Amino acid sequence: MSTNITVERICELCGKIFTARTTVTRYCSLNCNRRHYKQKQRNSKISKSHEETLKVKPQAVPEQPVEFLTIRQASRLLHCSERMLYDQIRSGRIKAIRLSERKTLIKRKHLDKAFKQDDFKPIPFQGQTGKGFQLLSIVSAWGRPSGNMGFLKKHFLI
């Protein structure tokens, strides 16, 4: 259907001024119309993906205090690694209940009590540096010249 109506419009996508033949035309060309459609589809997919991500996103530890915490919840609460908590449990600083091979619970009061102790000190590193190597024995064993200290420091924690 052709009409005798000519209306000057501004393209919603590119902003160019064009002459429209109908009163509902929104774009200056078929390319602008296609680009806008693709942009709408892309934004729709992005928002849908964002909503799904928010559903899956891990939930924070609840604000109300709970009596028992899992290792993961306790690590989030303390802002530390799960491995550190396991080390603290193994050393006896934090008491924990092992329900099964895969489930360990910590009572909240034991967690609070562990950090309120007056004699709380970090566990010292128990690596090879405690026993140590003598520099000459390393050099003789590996046949490295004594000038290569960076290698020795890196591999033997000197």
Q: Which pLDDT band holds residue 34 (cuts at 50, 70, 90)?
A: very high
> How do residues 109-143 score in pLDDT, each as one tens digit?
888 887 776 665 655 555 444 445 555 565 566 66
Token pair 């078929």 is found at 30
Return the pLDDT at 158: 47
Q: Collect contacts of 88-92 with beta carbons under 8 A, ≥24 apart.
A: 88/114, 88/123, 91/123
Residue 150 in this model has a pLDDT that exceeds 80: no
Mean of all residue pLDDT scores within the chain = 79
Instruction: Name the strands in the sheet holding 68-70, side by side, starting at the edge strand that comes first in the sequence.
Output: 68-70, 104-107, 96-98
Q: H or E element: which one contains 12?
A: none
Return the pLDDT at 127: 47
| Percentage of the chain lying above the pLDDT 70 cut | 66
CB 119 within 8 Å of CB 83? no
Return the pLDDT at 50: 92
Return the pLDDT at 47: 95
> How do residues 54-104 score in pLDDT, each as one tens digit?
888 776 655 666 789 999 999 988 888 999 889 888 888 888 988 888 899
